[in-house]
Chains A and B, each alone.
Chain A
Amino acid sequence: MLRFIFTRLSLVVPTFIGITLLVFVLIRLIPGDPIETMAGERGIDALRHEQLRKEYGFDQPVLVQYGLYLSRLVHGDFGRSIVTHEPVISEFGTLFPATIELSVCAILFALCLGLPAGIIAAVRRNSIFDHGVMGVSLTGYSMPIFWWGLLLILLFSVQLGWTPVSGRIAVQYFIEPVTGFLLIDALLAGDFGAFRSALSHLVLPMIVLGTVPLAVIARMTRSAMLEVLGEDYIRTARAKGLPYFRVIAIHALRNALIPVVTVIGLQVGVLFTGAILTETIFSWPGVGKWLIEGINRRDYPVLQGGTLLIGAIIMIVNLLVDVAYGLINPRIRYTR
């Protein structure tokens, strides 16, 4: 197990170099630079422009800039935002809990609906329920996130007025950040009004972000379940006279979960991509929205640091998923 983790960790370094190099070069290919963006519509005279470029080090060759960036990175320095002059790492730290809160709720939403839907669809294969679940999940999977988000806002926020349009909590509430997760902080503060407000703000983005994982999980669970239900050991479990629920929920599900967990791990990457769109649509103050703003302002350090940190988190989550994979599948645990 330890060796497995070390092998995986040794892949981290080349991946990080790849990520940083890609972001570093790509962002510099976008026309314009941070100084022009800062100057805005007033414009800036060429001499002052050149002077500032020198000050920020943008006049040097890209490779030299990259080398300097890497050496600072190695010392734990992610740089400061060109726009806010705040350290990238602290901005990320402030905004990240919002993204985590949204993502965790989205994946929980996807699991809570997707797993049972997939299981029931498999157990009642070819029933109306099965066809319904498969049809709906294909639709969900094919739906562009931004469009789906706008549709939900139109219905629930504009037409029905059930949920707020955007943001994370109503303005009248102020919750002292302890964990950074508003739902938890509101409960810690004992402010149930704030909790309800935060929850109602969370519902729509959670559904929007959770839709694609939900569709994938439901379909994956169904096909994994179908395969497992045809296995000999399910026949054995039934020959033992076990209650049907036990056969499905214990003997079948445990084995069907193996591919599903892999898929959930892969969905983490999808989740962050989705978070960028979802946060922008719902003005959710997380890292996704922060990165989009970073692109608009050509805020190089924010983009470089943000992408790198998100990449690191995706890799850690995938590593955890692989460890979990070994936990539920004893055949993997013992092979080296």
Chain B
Amino acid sequence: MPLLEIKNLSVEFPSQHGMVRAVDGVDIMLERGEVLGIVGESGSGKSVGMLALMGLVPYPGRVRADKLQFEGRDLQTLSERERRALTGKDVAMIFQEPTTSLNPSFTIGYQLAETLHVHEGMDRKAARRRVIELLEQVGIPAPESRLSAYPHQLSGGMNQRVMIAMAIACNPKLLIADEPTTALDVTIQAQILDLLLSLQRDRGMALILITHNMGVVSDTTERVAVMYAGQIMEQRPTQSLFASPQHPYTAALLAARPEASDGGRLATIPGVVPGLSDRPPGCLFGPRCIYATPLADKVRPDLRPWMDGLIRCHYPLGDPTRDERIAADGGSAPIPERETTS
């Protein structure tokens, strides 16, 4: 039984143009102790999808899924109370902005102990001991003297460590880290990532790392899901995805990395991500894809098994018959200069 199984998850928000989908048919499977990366541009739905898993989609968003199972339990049929007992205990989440994610009016010690009190029923003394232990584990020096500190008295990196301590307080089976290093200094970024990974290894917990940084993904994850406009475009083991991307979007993303540049101008993907309300009828990446055909503009591809993972594309890059099929569907011949090697 997988730890996490999500099938056809969608999150919708009402707008002037009717319901718009921020997350559209996302499937995720995660085994115990596995590290999954979710990458995508801003607004690709990677955060909202995970908030849906946590039951934290902001008002008035609506969450729907064919399957939303954690350890075989259907999260959609759980009562509010049962769901809360799971959230923050078995599934925990940390966020992008550590300083604003902590309550400015309460001390670090209080906010940490609160989790232990609510989920483990610990009394003050036991919670205090455990909080000091946790702060030590996340590498905060002199933890006892930090208990009475307020978030504004600590640096961003320290606050993120506090957030991590809070998240691992009840030994979660799954930790979701939503761009945990984006708001931090570059030097601190590596420290926080190392900390997350060592905690993951030591505790054998599963980790979902949401990021828009391809470099972070390649260093840390075992599997990657690439999201675009609310959909998963490609999901494959990290190594093979970086070695031979199969989706034109993944290939373009990898080509846009500074590391992939030959010292000249950085490669870019022309065009912009479609807005929530002007999604094309066919492939969502179609308008920006150099391989798009009339068929791809009309028919939205399904997420299907491909090679060692899943892909949502009519013409995967590794398909030997793709040139003929593109030509047959009325597309122009592929332009070689966009071919990417990594």
A residues neighboring B (CB under 8 Å):
230-233, 235-244, 246, 251, 254-255, 328-331, 334
Contacts and interface: CB of A to CB of B under 8 A. Distances in A.
Interface string B196-215: 00000000000000000000
Contacts of A239: 54, 56, 87-88, 92-93, 95
Interface stretch (B32-40, B68-76, B112-120): B112-120
Interface of B: 51, 54-56, 58, 80, 84-89, 92-93, 95, 97, 100-106, 114-115, 118-119, 150, 152-153, 163, 166
B84 A233 contact: no
A311 to B, nearest CB: 33
30 contacts: A230-B58, A231-B100, A232-B95, A232-B97, A233-B100, A235-B95, A235-B101, A236-B102, A236-B163, A236-B166, A240-B87, A240-B114, A241-B86, A241-B87, A241-B119, A242-B84, A242-B118, A244-B80, A246-B118, A251-B106, A254-B103, A254-B106, A255-B103, A255-B104, A255-B105, A328-B105, A329-B104, A329-B105, A330-B105, A331-B104
Contacts of B101: 232-233, 235-236
B152 A240 contact: no
A199 B190 CA distance: 67
Listed residue (A236, A242, A246, A254) with the most chain B CB atoms within 10 angstroms of its CB: A236
Contacts of B84: 241-243
A236 B87 CA distance: 11
Contacts of A235: 51, 56, 58, 95, 101
B13 to A, nearest CB: 15
A234 B95 CA distance: 12
Nearest to A254: B105
Nearest to A125: B59
A336 to B, nearest CB: 14
Contacts of B100: 231-233
Nearest to A242: B118
A239 B93 CA distance: 7
Contacts of A255: 103-105
A232 B84 CA distance: 18
A236 B104 contact: no
A239 B103 CA distance: 13
Nearest to A234: B103
B54 A233 contact: no
A239 B51 CA distance: 9
B88 A242 contact: yes
A154 B102 CA distance: 53
A233 B104 contact: yes
A140 to B, nearest CB: 28
B105 A240 contact: no
Contacts of A230: 58
Given A232-B97, A330-B150, A331-B152, A240 B118 contact: yes
Contacts of A232: 95, 97, 100-101
